[in-house]
Amino acid sequence: MVNSIAKGKAGEREFSKFLRDHGYADARRGQQFNGLDGEDVVGLRYIHIECKRIERLNIQDALDQSIRDAKENTLPIVAHRKNRGKWMITMDAGDWLKIYAAADMEKLNG
């Protein structure tokens, strides 16, 4: 249990650094109280981040947790990766379509 908690904290720090390296200077571990509430990582407006650094992830349980913990007007996501893997994002397809519709597609394609 202690090892998984330490790995979780390390994953949150690692994903925060990943975001900072990609230009999101305010990204950091969230304020959590006894692990009961709060975002794992903060710094992306309108996004609730549940962060998982685990080999065998029950993605539905993780997404359900993010949905349950997300505040109003935020989109819940799960940032996750396995050992030696890349960071991945999982979210509800309807929420993804909201982001896609709002994106400047010319900028993305140019």
- Domain ranges for the chain, please list them: 2-109
56: left (phi over 0), alpha (psi -120 to 50) or beta: beta
pLDDT in tens, 38-74: 789 999 999 999 999 999 999 999 999 999 999 999 9
Q: What number does CATH give the domain 2-109?
A: 3.40.1350.10
Average pLDDT value for the chain: 89
Strands 28-29 and 41-42: what pairing?
antiparallel
Higher-confidence position of 38 and 85: 85
Higher-confidence position of 68 and 34: 68
* DSSP structure class, residue 44: S
Residue pair 95/76 in contact by the 8 Å Cβ criterion? yes
Q: What is the pTM of this model?
A: 0.86
Confidence of residue 11 (pLDDT cuts 50, 70, 90): very high
